[in-house]
Amino acid sequence: MAETTNKIVLVGFMGCGKSTVSRLLAKELGWRRIDTDDEIVEREGRSVAAIFEEAGEQGFRKIESNLIASILTEPEPAVIATGGGAVLAEANRQAMLAYSYVVALKADAEQIIARVQADTGRPLLAGDAANRVPLLLEQRKTVYDFAPTIIDTTSLTPEQVAAAILDGFKQQQ
Ligand code: S3P
């Protein structure tokens, strides 16, 4: 990472608190907040589920990668909440490390399932979070480990997570 950066990127599996924590961080820092899924939906004019259906996961990943590359090189400070699969592409991981302070959030499977169960907007869960989450977690066991900072959010409040991130961020500036 560059000596100083004005980007904080949150990565992690679905339901680990990226959106909530990014809101708190952006408010605290007075920075813009970008949720890559929301941004994709806005730019594409269709839902994540519709993109998966019409362009496949690969099509979604292409849009996601292009967006991440462009956000990271914008001059304005930003807190960026990424989708759970944004780290699957090596190029995305490299860009995040080069341009931002990257924090991975993780949580226990039970807690993730509880948080995402009612959600119908995540195509990879296919309406069956209880079975899909453990399978995907296993597939993605190590993909978030590239982040220099990893925080287990299972027994922390979003405020505690945000405070820990801010401490770490300020220390390395
Ligand atoms: C995905 C996570 C989702 C969204 C898409 C794919 C994934 O974002 O990008 O459904 O591959 O883990 P959240 O992590 O914000 O749910």
* Minimum CA distance residue for ligand 1 atom 10: 122
Q: Single out the residue of 18, 153, 6 nearest to residue 83, CA to CA.
A: 18
Task: Report the pLDDT value the prediction gives residue 173, as an integer from 0 to 100.
Answer: 82
Cβ neighbours of 100 (radius 10 Å): 22
pLDDT digits (tens, 9 = 90+) for 29-87: 999 999 999 999 999 999 999 999 999 999 999 999 999 999 999 999 999 999 999 99
* Minimum CA distance residue for ligand 1 atom 3: 83
Q: 127-132: list long-range contacts, CB under 8 Å, 24+ apart.
A: none
Distance 86 CA to ligand 1 centre (A): 8
Distance 139 CA to ligand 1 centre (A): 14
Report the share of the chain in percent with pLDDT over 90: 93
- Which residue among 9, 14, 82 is best mutated to probe the pocket of ligand 1, counting the most ligand atoms within 8 A of its Cβ? 14
Pocket of ligand 1 (CB under 6 A): 14, 18, 37, 48, 83-85, 122-124
Report the share of the chain in percent with pLDDT over 70: 98
